[in-house]
Amino acid sequence: MRNEFEHRIAVEWHKTLERTLELASQSQGKGVLVFDLDSTVFDNRPRQARIVREYGAQKNLPVLTKVQSFHFTNGWDLKHACTAVGMPDDDAESIFRDLKNFWGARFFTTPYCRDDIEIVGAPRYLHACVKTGAKLVYVTGRHEEMRAGSIEAMARCGMPVPGGQVSLMMKPTLRESDDAYKRVAHQLLEEMGTVIAAFDNEPTHVNDYATRFPNCLPVHLATDHSGRPVTLDERVISIPHFAW
């Protein structure tokens, strides 16, 4: 996945992961480690590609039935994926609105989020976090209807699942704003303990963590994001994945 923030990744970026584990171990169970899901611990390009292939099959557009995860090289850009597989630009433009509606009816559902795979190194690192004794909290813009599929994907990928010191915070419904929901979640996180580090791919969200929790490590996953033109806070550390 290409990302305009790749230039911010320091040569020794892995030290941030090591430091997080050190601080979590020193917290004596009072620390909180926060992780987003989409494009942070999960790669949802398989889900994206499946939806476009199904659209191609339904609309008799054979070229789209060949879309794979690697065609999504420009974030969540559906038109770019269509042209990457060989559809002419004009054709991709003409179907975009219909494809986006088709995508929207499926992407935010349990049956489709089961297709997600792990970001490189995420399962191993998440288990290392749990071993520190700190609380591991997934804070996501996904809504409750996606809980079952999200947990199934966690289990299939070998990630820690909710229970005990592991929690999953989700929006009540799809219509809530991701930005607003995560800001509400900040207060709940404060009640759980000391936020040591917060990992998120979305610049707006990781900036919010940097502001709300001035003593935490705000860590940005330089994978993909919504595309909003947001400058990362100078305190934010960018990393490419979790294989350290």
Query: Tens-of-pLDDT digits for all 244 residues of the chain?
Result: 446 788 889 899 999 999 999 999 999 999 999 999 999 999 999 999 999 999 999 999 999 999 999 999 877 899 999 999 999 999 999 999 999 999 999 999 999 999 999 999 999 999 999 999 999 999 999 999 999 999 999 999 999 999 999 999 999 999 999 999 999 999 999 999 999 999 999 999 999 999 999 999 999 999 988 778 899 999 999 999 999 8
- Are residues 87 and 200 located together in one domain of the fold? no
Residue-level pLDDT at 1? 44
Rg of the chain over CA atoms, in angstroms?
18
In a domain, 215, yes or no: yes
Residue-level pLDDT at 225? 83
- Are residues 131 and 203 located together in one domain of the fold? yes
Do β-strands 135-143 and 31-35 pair in parallel, antiparallel, or remain unpaired?
A: parallel
- Are residues 100 and 186 located together in one domain of the fold? no
Q: Which residue range is the domain that position 172 belongs to?
A: 6-44+118-239
- pTM of model > 0.85: yes
- Are residues 213 and 141 located together in one domain of the fold? yes
- Are residues 139 and 169 located together in one domain of the fold? yes
- Are residues 74 and 152 located together in one domain of the fold? no
- Are residues 102 and 181 located together in one domain of the fold? no
Closest CA to 232 of 1, 64, 7: 7
- The answer to whether the beta carbons of residues 241 and 9 sit under 8 Å apart is no
Torsion of CA 70, 124, 3, 99, to 10 degrees: 50
Number of domains in the chain: 2
Domain at 165, CATH number: 3.40.50.1000
In 3-state terms, what secondary structure has residue 118?
Answer: strand
CA distance 114 to 139: 18
51-59 long-range contacts, CB within 8 A, separation 24+:
51/102, 51/103, 51/106, 51/107, 51/112, 52/78, 52/81, 52/82, 52/99, 52/103, 54/102, 54/106, 55/99, 55/102, 55/103, 58/102, 59/95, 59/98
Residue-level pLDDT at 3? 62
- Are residues 68 and 148 located together in one domain of the fold? no
- Are residues 218 and 153 located together in one domain of the fold? yes
In a domain, 145, yes or no: yes
In a domain, 244, yes or no: no
- Are residues 135 and 214 located together in one domain of the fold? yes
- Are residues 22 and 53 located together in one domain of the fold? no
